[in-house]
Amino acid sequence: MKKIILITIGLILLCTGCSMPNQTVENKINVVCTVFPQYDFVREIAKDRVNVQMLLPPGGEAHSYEPSPKDIIALKEADLFIAIGGESEHWAMHLLEGSELKGTPTLLLADVVTTYAEEVTEGMEGSGHGHEHSEKCEHDEHEAEFDEHIWTAPQNAVLMCRAISRALCDADPDNSEFYQNNTDVYCNRLTDLDSEFKKAAADAKRNTVIFGDRFPMRYLIEAMGLQYYAAFPGCSSKTEPSAKTLAFLTDKVKNDNIPVVFYMDYSDARIADAISRETHAKAIRLYSCHNLSKEDLSEGETYLSLMQKNLSALKEALN
């Protein structure tokens, strides 16, 4: 009888021990993002309540990215897929139009903001796409190529975060209050950042900035009410400007006494350095925030921290 009791107790303890891990396992939804901004926005809104993955590898270039078989599997298993929806993500549009991602909840962030068509300004090398106009346009899937760097304006980031929050609440209603509260806090920080950029422009001695590089910062510069000149449009694949473009930018810096010439992250800064040597203007890096290096990720850089660096750099350029 004692043996039976001991065996019974042992079985009960064994079964209890087996079931405990199931009680502590968290059932998290899987969120897949294409580039860093929405990945970081999800981290701020959802914290550790979701499994979030960024497809673009650290240090990678969004315009040349193609999904691996492993990435395709992650997309098929996703509870929510968040993309920008531009030309550089043509692969995503192809998957969404086919059967690969049929039924996968998808958020295209270009649909929640007002987009700009790519612009070719005075002195700039042509983009090769023929977009030589600057009007705003409401994005749709049949539209000519638009400037995809929609996140560079904090006011756009607010709209994107609100849309991400709604999508997360739909995918995971049990945590909706948590997501909504975090979204409110984070959007307040983004709104404060937007005010700082606009104040910097309002208090500045000048209103013109020079980019010896591609120009992916149009949404921010437009929001600040600034004028800009650049070597290439934001989505251009060109890296070598003509002598005419280089001379135009150099003369602009000299004639307007511009103290700073910008170059972008993941750039070799050759154009900005050449202008700097001719004019003695300082060459300073700006962050497009579309991706981070491994070092930046390990050091905990975020959209907000990089945009604060941009704010400091722009203050220096405008005064």
Q: What is the pLDDT of residue 62?
A: 81
Q: Decide if pLDDT at 7 tops 50.
A: no
CB 83, CB 107: distance < 8 Å:
yes
For residue 202, what pLDDT band results from cuts at 50, 70 and 90?
Answer: very high
| Residue range 69-78, pLDDT digits in tens | 999 999 999 9
Predicted pLDDT at 239: 65
- Kindly state the DSSP code that residue 318 receives in the 8-state scheme: T
Q: How far apart are the C-alpha atoms of 60 and 63, rounded to whole Å?
A: 9
Domain 114-319 fold is Rossmann fold (3.40.50)
Output the pLDDT for position 237.
61
Query: Given pLDDT bands bounded at 50, 70 and 90, which one contains residue 234?
Result: low
Give me the sheet containing 260-264, strands edge to edge.
227-233, 208-215, 260-264, 282-286
When pLDDT is cut at 50, 70 and 90, the band that residue 266 belongs to is confident
**Per-residue model confidence (pLDDT) at position 118:** 85
Q: Choose between 319 and 5: higher pLDDT.
A: 319
Q: Check whether 20 has a pLDDT greater than 80.
A: no
CA-closest candidate to residue 167, choices 33, 35, 281, 304: 33
Query: Highest mean pLDDT range out of 58-62, 171-175, 230-234?
Result: 171-175
Q: What are the extents of the domains in the chain? A: 114-319
**Letter string b/e over residues 106-119, b meaning 16 or more CB atoms within 10 A of that residue's CB:** bbbbbebbebbbbb
233, 112 contact by CB (below 8 A): no
Q: Which amino acid would we find at residue 226? A: L
d(CA 283, CA 292): 20
Q: What is the mean pLDDT of the chain?
A: 86
- Computed on alpha carbons and rounded to an integer, the radius of gyration of the chain in Å comes to 24
